[in-house]
Structure formats: C-alpha cells, structure tokens
Amino acid sequence: NLSEKLGAALKKLKGKGVVTEKDIKESMREIKLALLEADVNYKVVKDFIGNVSERAVGADVLESLTPGQQIIKIVNDELAKLMGSDSARIEFAKKPPTIVLMAGLQGAGKTTFCAKLAGFMRKKHNKRPLLVACDIYRPAAVKQLEVVGKQIDIPVFQMGTQVSAVSIATAALEHAKHHGNDFVIIDTAGRLHIDDDLMQELEDIKAAVNPDEILLVIDAMTGQDAVNIAESFNARLEISGVVMTKLDGDTRGGAALSVKAVTGKPIKFAGVGEKLSDIEEFHPDRMASRILGSGDVLSLIEKAQAAFDEKDAAKLEDKIRHNSFNLDDFLAQMQQMKKMGPLTQIMKMIPGVNAKAIDNADIDERKLDRVEAIIKSMTMRERENPSIINASRKRRIAAGSGNNVSDVNLLLKQFEQMQQMMKQFSGGGLGMRKLKKKK
Ligand code: GDP
Ligand code: MG
C-alpha cells in the first residue's frame, strides 16, 4: 500500500550520511510511482514531486548531518500542505440556526454522515441538531434517516416523499426556529452518476435555504473518480468543504491527497467506520504522518535496536528480577525511549495498535519532560531510595525542577505503583524470561 511504498522509497535515504542529487532523484521517482499507484491525481503528483525535489536539493539539506531525515520531513510537510495546512472547521452562522446542506453520489455515506455530524455537534459544541429528510426518491431513504436519528436520539424532520425537497427544507427551517434547533442538517438524494436533475435540485435547495455549509460527501474508495466528482459538484454548487468517508477501509488514499489540491476546498471531516460515532475532524498533518508512518514496523525495529542494545536489556532484566529498579533506571529508560522519536509516532508503529486511537488520545509528551526534570533534580541517593524523600526534600526538588510539590508526589506515587507491578512480574514465575521467549 501507499504507506509501505513511501516508506521503502524513503528508507534508502534515511541511513545515508551523504545524499547526492542522484539519490534524491531516485527516491522521488519511487515516491512518484507510489502516489500514482495510490490514485493520486497526476497533476497533483507532478507538482508535489516538484516542490519536494526543489526543497530537498537545497544546499541546507545536502550539507546537513541527517539529510535523509530532513527529506522525510519535507515529504511529510508537503503531504500535509497538499491536504490543506490547517484543520478546517465548520462555519457557524452568526444568527442560528447553522444550516448544513449535504451533497454527494448515492452510497457515498451522506445519510450516515448526517447522523454522525449531528451527534458530533451535540457532543462537542452543545448544539441541538435537527436532521431533515430531503431524499424523497426512495421511501426507504426517509426511514433510514429516522432510524439513525433514533439511534442517537436526534429529531428528524420529514414530510414523506410527496412534497418537493425544496418545500421540505423550507418547512424544516421554520420547524427548527420554533423548536430551538440551532444546527440543521439537510440530507439529500444522490444518484449513481452526476446528472443535471440532481444538481438542479441541490441548487434549488441552496437558493431556498442559503446554507452556511455545503458539504460534499465522497467515498474514499472511489479513487481517481473522487476528484472528478468533487470538481463537478464544486462547479455547480460551490461547496464549502468535503467529507471523506470510508477512510477506515483498505483504501489507496489517493482521493484524500488530491481533492484539496484540485478543488481548493478542504476536507473537513472523515468517516472512519459504519458506527455513528466513527467521525473525526480532518487534520492534514496527522493524515500525512499516518500515510508516512503508520504500521511501519521495520523502522520501529530499526529505531529500537539503535537505541537499546542487548546488554542494557539484560542489565535491566536483572534489576527488575532483584527489585532494585530505581528512579535513576527509570530516568535512563525514559531517555532511551526518547531517542526513538516522539512517543506517539512510536506507539503507532506497534502492530495492531490503532493509529487513530493514539491521535485521539492526546498524549502529552511534555508530561514526560516534566518527569525527567523532576528526577534530574534529585540526588543519586534519592533516586536510589525514594523513601528518604521527605517534605523538605520534596520542596527542594519541586523548586529545582520548576514544578509543584504535587507533581513530585504524583511521580513518586506512580513510580511506587510501577515497582509493585514489576515485583509481581518477576515474582510470579511469569517473568521476563517468558516474555522474551515469544520474540
Ligand atoms: P448515502 O446513499 O450517501 O446516503 O449513503 P449511506 O449513508 O446510506 O451509506 C452507504 C453505505 O456506506 C452504508 O452501508 C454505510 O453503513 C456505509 N458507510 C458510510 N460511511 C462509512 C464509513 O465511514 N466507513 C464505512 N466502513 N462505511 C460507511
Ligand atoms: Mg442516503
């Protein structure tokens, strides 16, 4: 897949002390192929490669100590830039309700996303959403919206299938005003292909309700076609943003990379599963590092090996076995980990770990820095034997490391819990040896 291919292309650069223009050219050729194979639009690829090459061949990179790493960073930056530099947000109306018109082909995931967005807006922005059933061509469509609305307890406004979509949308706004709904989401009909009737109807609804947002829902699995679809809808409706659904599937990812570059309209949300809670705000930088870095087990192993040699591992095992793992060892462990790169990036590389969950977990690397500062403010005796750390020592350590006494207390408590865990680990017979065998 795209991640693996890009990883392979960049890996050759990674270890190199000196990178020549020829090396860069070779890698760029591989990256280009990987992107094209992943269905990224040709023109987008061409510009992308141009930008990366220009920056990569720059004297700074070639003469720097870690040219390979720098080029990887450039690729990462440029990927993020392709998808828009900042995370785009929903524009709320100055005077409620905010009106969102959903558009897209049949099966793209509009109806599902309407409900997802309603749940999201209620939870994150305290909104009182109203869902509006304007897909009048299939009776089942109205029913479907009612079903998903019910699942998350969001009201659905519908007038059956005998009234025009424009009339329903207009009546829904009246209803919203009288019922205190400050966020109105209009579900519309899709067709299998873009056709004039569909576009005309959407234009009519747009003219009637003057929406704050027109979101185009695109199935990430449509590949190259996604770009054409986005261009056609944008030309007629002037959309305000894109929702990329089914990003959880085994997609080639090209659609997400091309849409912003071609239409100029940002991806605002991603659908990442069939459940109504499977919605994410779209962050270009996170998507870029996901494309470059997720599941890259090989590079994790590389990093881990470089940072942690066998001898250290044996020493650590011995310490744990003899219950003599102290705060100084803890500090050394943390520093080892840091050598491997940002913690979040490392966790994502562990097979079976859900990269999205980690992005959402908001892991605070600064907390690790704080722990490090606190331990460094301790004397060696204190590190070896934390029980001597009394109130006045705590005050000294806190002041020395620029923290509060409560931070010191928290660290000591956590360390104590960790020691307890390690004791169980080495005492119960199910020790490190068993774990090691599995490797
Ligand atoms: P609509 O025709 O555009 O209204 O599309 P629907 O909302 O009815 O969705 C079509 C199908 O795609 C349904 O089976 C949904 O469960 C599925 N679907 C929608 N969004 C996602 C998503 O983000 N991930 C996955 N895996 N399936 C999705
Ligand atoms: Mg639908």
Pocket test for ligand 1, best of 101, 112, 269 (most atoms within 8 A of CB): 112
Residue ranges of the alpha helices (H) in 210-243? 225-237
Closest ligand to the CA of 249: 1
CA of 386 to the centre of ligand 2 (A): 62
First-to-last C-alpha distance (Å) of the chain = 26
Binding residues for GTP: 104-111, 187-191, 245-248
Most confident of 20-24, 182-186, 289-293: 182-186
Q: What pLDDT sits at residue 59?
A: 64
pLDDT tens per residue across span 55-84: 888 766 666 656 676 777 788 888 888 888
- Dihedral sign for Cα atoms in the order 170, 174, 180, 182: positive
Domains, the chain, in order of start with CATH, read: 2-82 (1.20.120.140), 98-292 (3.40.50.300), 297-438 (1.10.260.30)
Rg of the chain on CA atoms, in Å: 27
Nearest CA to ligand 1 atom 5: 109
Sheet containing 183-187: which strands, arranged edge to edge?
A: 156-157, 129-133, 183-187, 98-103, 213-219, 241-245, 267-271, 279-281
pLDDT tens per residue across span 134-157: 999 987 999 999 999 999 999 999
Binding residues: 104-111, 187-191, 245-248
Q: What is the mean pLDDT of the chain?
A: 82
CA of 129 to the centre of ligand 1 (A): 20
Crossing angle of helices 2-14 and 21-37, in 10° steps, is: 170
Nearest CA to ligand 1 atom 16: 274
Give 150-206 as a DSSP string: HHTT--EE-BTBSS-HHHHHHHHHHHHHHHT--EEEEE----SS--HHHHHHHHHHH
Q: What pLDDT sits at residue 362?
A: 56
CA of 116 to the centre of ligand 1 (A): 11
Nearest residue to 161 (alpha-carbon basis) of 188, 200, 135, 131:
135
* CB 272 near ligand 1, within 6 Å: yes
Q: What pLDDT sits at residue 103?
A: 97
Mean pLDDT of 264-271: 92
Most confident of 173-187, 289-303, 328-342, 419-433: 173-187
**Residue 279 burial (C-beta neighbours within 10 Å; 0-12, 13-18, 19+):** buried
Q: Which residues surround ligand 2, an ion (CB under 5 A)?
A: 110-111
Cis peptide leading into 342, omega within 30 of 0? no
Give CA–CA dist 255/225, Å, rounded: 8
Angstrom CA distances, 78 to 15, 104, 267, 374, stand at 21, 28, 16, 38
CA of 107 to the centre of ligand 2 (A): 7
- Dihedral sign for Cα atoms in the order 54, 59, 61, 62: positive
Q: What pLDDT sits at residue 253?
A: 67
DSSP tag of 261: H
Mean pLDDT of 110-122: 97
The residue ranking higher by pLDDT, 382 or 323, is 382
* CB 251 near ligand 1, within 6 Å: no
Q: Are 97 and 183 in contact (CB under 8 A)?
A: yes
Q: Which of 172-176, 265-269, 331-335 has the lowest mean pLDDT?
A: 331-335
pLDDT tens per residue across span 373-406: 899 999 999 998 999 999 999 999 999 999 999 9
* CB 106 near ligand 1, within 6 Å: yes
* CB 135 near ligand 1, within 6 Å: no
Most confident of 106-115, 243-252, 266-275, 358-367: 106-115
